Amino acid sequence: MRLTDIVVKNAKPSEKPTKISDGKGLYLLVHPNGSKYWQAAYRFDGKQKVFSIITYSTVSLAEARTSLLEMKSLLASGIDPLQQKRL
């Protein structure tokens, strides 16, 4: 199920970090202190990796989806998005 801005805005913290999936690897990670981070899971060279986009307060849902598309285009080109971000 794809997320909506209302669901993201109303996401409440719990005792443990919670992942709320948007699909295609993108999810919102809600920490117990209430902070919200956009992250995307992907595989590169057979290894599972997590690409942290940025906090929810800085990037909207639409922008996070755009970042996911950019990350997937890097993967299609054979480039590890995490390494690219570090450079």
Helix or strand or coil: residue 83?
helix
**Model confidence, pTM:** 0.88
CATH code, domain carrying 36: 3.30.160.390
Any idea how long the chain is?
A: 87
Domain count, the chain: 1
Residues 4-35 have pLDDT tens digits of: 999 999 999 999 999 999 988 999 999 999 99
The beta-strand segments (E) located in the chain are 18-23, 26-30, 36-44, 47-55
Name the DSSP class of 14. -
pLDDT in the model for residue 1: 66
Domain that holds residue 70: 5-86
